[in-house]
Amino acid sequence: MEPGNNTQIPEFLLLGLSEGPELQSLIFGLFLSMYLITVFGNLLIILAVSAECHLHTPMYFFLSNLSFVDICFTSTTIPKMLQNIQTQRKVIAYEGCIVQVYFYLLFAGLDNFLLTVMAYDRYVAICHPLQYTVIMSPWVCALLVLVSWVLSSMYSLLQSLMILRLSFCSDLEIHHFFCEITWLIQLACSDPFLNNMVVYFGSVIIGGVPLSGILYSYSKIVASICGISSAQGQYKAFSTCASHLSVVSLFYCSALGVYLSFTATYRSHTSAIVSVMYTVVTPMLNPFIYSLRNKDIKRALKRLFGKETFRKASMLLFPYISSSPPLSPCP
């Protein structure tokens, strides 16, 4: 195919994680299991927060939004991957690829912003506890989520429109399991300089600025915790943000590893394998990280599904977790 207008391109080839036919059944089963766990686990978080009035607080409001975004994030890429494996066709239409890029960047950006908002929430709760209810009012919480959606939508729309200006040649093979934007830029026959600049600038805005906000919030949190005289008080303050810090570390470290591996190993499957960490594994682990040591979530799940059912499930999956008393009815 000669270089030309991108409307002439019928489809791209998604080569996936491995081209070996003997591994396709294993990959299909593994990713189907992780996808179902991700959807089911995050839905449980959303249901627990919605049904339990004691969890109608800013922290759990942001957590339920993060769970919803994680479901959408994995649903952008994994179902298409599973379909390609099941039908033994590795193609994706040009229009479908652009749509996938848009929603992938939208929900990836929302993950960044929501993690930042949650870090700010913990900063206010620990460093300014007396003003917490005033600063983190329902109106402010809704506004923070709305701004996150607007900024992420603008960023993903800009990147998608920038892809539309590119022309492609005969090499339409994407060494990934979804339409990753850096791969599309690398495949372009036209000059990708402007696209690369927009990607680098957008990465700083969408990734660097939120990460800086998270680091600043936690620097203040650590300083405030160190000022607490009792060890019990320090442990209680740190335990309220330990889960969030774990998710932040996992998300940003894996995302950084993806782009470092892509730079070092262009046209290999290494970056695709590493990207599984933040596109699949992190959303799957979030419900476990936020609920395993969170008594409020466990109590809410008990009330939602019944004490006996939840106790048996907890003992089967996590036998080291002790039972806790039920929450009192909301006033």
Confirm if 176 and 183 have CB atoms less than 8 A apart.
yes
Tell me the DSSP string of 41-66: HHHHHHHHHHH-GGG-SHHHHHHHHH
Query: Is 11-296 in CATH node 3.30.450.20?
Result: no
Report the DSSP pairing between strands 91-93 and 11-14. Answer: antiparallel
Q: For residue 260, what pLDDT is reported?
A: 62
Span 16-71, pLDDT tens digits: 887 777 788 899 999 999 999 999 999 999 998 988 888 899 999 999 999 999 99
Listed in sequence order, the residues at least 6 apart from 203 whose beta carbon sits closer than 8 Å to its beta carbon are none
Going residue by residue through the chain, which has 331 residues, state the pLDDT in tens, using 9 for 90 and above: 444 444 456 689 998 887 777 788 899 999 999 999 999 999 999 998 988 888 899 999 999 999 999 999 999 999 999 999 998 888 999 999 999 999 999 999 999 999 999 999 999 998 998 999 999 999 999 999 999 999 999 999 999 999 998 888 877 888 888 998 988 988 888 888 899 899 888 888 888 899 899 999 999 988 888 877 777 777 776 776 777 788 888 888 777 766 665 555 555 566 777 788 878 988 998 888 877 667 788 788 777 776 545 455 555 444 444 444 444 455 5
Of 276, 183, 290, the closest CA to residue 247 belongs to 290
SS3 content of the chain, % helix, strand, coil (to 5): 75, 5, 20
Starting from the edge strand earliest in sequence, which strands make up the sheet with 91-93, in order? 91-93, 11-14, 173-174
Q: Under 8 Å CB-to-CB from 79, ≥6 apart: which residues?
A: 35
Rounded to an integer, what distance in angstroms lies between the CA atom of residue 272 and that of residue 253?
15
* pLDDT for the residue 258: 65
Q: How far is CA 50 from the centre of its chain?
A: 21
b/e sequence 207-224, b meaning 16+ C-beta within 10 Å:
beebbebbeebbebbeeb
What pLDDT was estimated at residue 182? 86
Conformational region of residue 266, where left means phi above 0, alpha means psi within -120 to 50, and beta covers everything else: beta
Question: What residue ranges do the domains of the chain occupy?
Answer: 11-296
Q: Over the stretch 65-83, which tens digit does the pLDDT of each residue have?
A: 999 999 999 999 999 999 9
CA gap 126, 242 in Å, rounded: 13
Q: What predicted TM-score, i.e. pTM, was given to this entire model?
A: 0.85
For CA atoms 215, 219, 224, 226, the dihedral sign is positive
Please give the structure tokens belonging to residue 256. Answer: 């950084």
Check residue 146 and give its pLDDT: 97
Rounded-to-integer distance, Cα 301 and Cα 323, Å? 12
Which residues face 13 on adjacent strands? 91, 173
